[in-house]
Structure 1
């Protein structure tokens, strides 16, 4: 494939990635109106990719045996703990705010976690200030549909994803091995929760509507768990990390716009202001000059690249996640 064809395929992959990230936020918001519990949705989200990638399980187990326990713990934080926080925040707020706050605040939390290890340029600090202003706007200008409790939960989810991001930077596992490890740990934990009776499960009780189950298998199990990772990886390779990360910042906008017809949500003044501030901050942060590290041996990536790393495995990301 020539250069122009490679770039075209990269833009197609990036567009697909943005849509898949938006579908994750929208479907997480829709859990409350489905016949699945949050734990059921988590089982689908993590068990489906694990089944598809099951042939990689022995190799992943061997790789995990060589990995540091602290790094494994950081990676597992991006699995079930982050998912349940994300889903709870989605129920307490709106899809637009859910798609905005978690990926939007991750650069802020990562920068705070790495203070003293990386120099941050003035432009990057200004961009982080815009993100903070967007969070403040969301907390003060958005009505009862997005109360402070939901915003707080989403901010905690963003912080947990930042912890996961640090695990990504420290691990020696390959990308698909990370997916298998996180999905395996999260599936076992979710099964333990519902099997012990600590969390309800309509799925294990056999009372889930087949259409709901199929929707979540497609959107979250296959879409988020597999396709978004593959599409974003190709976009980064074809377009470069900077273009892919900035393009990924459109995901909150797509989520907010799509939530209007799909979920009956409105884009009010508060959400519009928060969208502009946070998206502008994320774009500015990724466009900021890359500073030299204070301790080069600590990390292999620089903070200016972190949105791309975060969204590679969304939540969700996240990937993202």
Structure 2
């Protein structure tokens, strides 16, 4: 290799290209996660307003997910130390069964539109704030401007929804905000974790199933006997496969490549995608004010997802098993 190949300019160019490639790859993973998460609010709303209840949704999500991802834990059992299992338990408490139940509680007291707007939109704000306060990560003016635009869009979405659905429940809004904070903390912790994305997904499903299924079965919370087979199959596929496995994995990959703040900012696109999906699926047509809010949120996401110096120094050594 010639000396020119080792020049600072050549090294800088190679680093820049690698960073750009990681950014675009991370955005693709984030886009897939956004699509699945957005559909979750619509699909879950579809069933909880019919025969199935959130207890059935939670059982399908983590029960099937735990079975599907069990081979990951078996194959990697030598690598997973007791500390890794404890870390997985913490992740499950942040983005597992408690998170799903909080969002479900918020759904029951507000609406699908509010839940899809509040939780994903607040998450990047919490992630940026926590990273700034606890890890001294500088966000930069453009990212803070993006956070401000996302906040303004959220306010408009709530106001637009209130004009159609009535004033939302403060308790329901608080549950959705708490879920967003838990999600944000998870992204910050995972970025510094030694677990791979698929290992984290497997541990989240395992611990959530271990904590929830005994209670679910003991108290006879199942309503499967009252629901059509097609509805159960739809929820089993979406909750157990897409949400418990694919979505967690794709989001973790996005965090690894983009950093927690940028990845969670892109996830704030969920209200826009969910609103579009809800039109044909649920017949919920956003008002003019809600569409304006969506545009503002998209603009805020584009600003907040711009990389900063700390964000470019992400861990790229986590390989997909």
Fold shared, TM-score > 0.5 on shorter chain: yes
Q: Partners in 2 of 1:10 and 1:123 — Cα distance?
A: 20
Residue correspondence of structure 1 range 69-148 to structure 2 within 5 A: 69=86, 72-114=89-131, 115-116=133-134, 117-143=136-162, 144=165, 147-148=168-169
Q: Deviations over 1:181-212 (max 9, x none)?
A: 10011112221332342x83224xx4333222
Given the alignment of the two structures, is residue 192 of structure 1 paired with residue 204 of structure 2, yes or no?
A: no
Unaligned runs of 5+ in 1: 1-7, 294-299, 303-321
Q: Deviations over 1:221-246 (max 9, x none)?
A: 11222334566678899xx7499878
Q: Partners in 1 of 2:247 and 2:158 — Cα distance?
A: 30
Deviates more, 1:65-74 or 1:182-191: 65-74
Q: Partners in 1 of 2:311 and 2:32 — Cα distance?
A: 33
Unaligned runs of 5+ in 2: 1-23, 316-321
Q: Call closer, same or farther: CA 1:227–1:111 in 2, change over 3 Å.
A: closer
Q: Deviations over 1:231-269 (max 9, x none)?
A: 6678899xx749987875544322101212211212013
Determine the structure 1 residue equivalent to 2:291: 272
Length-normalised TM-score, structure 1: 0.74
Residue correspondence of structure 1 range 1-321 to structure 2 within 5 A: 16-58=32-74, 59-60=76-77, 63-67=80-84, 69=86, 72-114=89-131, 115-116=133-134, 117-143=136-162, 144=165, 147-149=168-170, 150-197=172-219, 200-203=221-224, 206-229=225-248, 241=258, 250-291=269-310, 301=314
Report how far residue 118 of structure 1 moved: 1.4
Q: Call closer, same or farther: CA 1:146–1:274 in 2, change over 3 Å.
A: farther
Q: Partners in 2 of 1:60 and 1:137 — Cα distance?
A: 48
Q: Partners in 2 of 1:49 and 1:210 — Cα distance?
A: 19
Q: Partners in 1 of 2:209 and 2:285 — Cα distance?
A: 35
Q: How many residue pairs align between the two structures? A: 285
Report how far residue 148 of structure 1 moved: 3.6
Report how far residue 175 of structure 1 moved: 1.4
Report how far residue 138 of structure 1 moved: 3.0
| Bigger Rg over Cα | 2
Length-normalised TM-score, structure 2: 0.74
Q: Partners in 2 of 1:110 and 1:233 — Cα distance?
A: 14
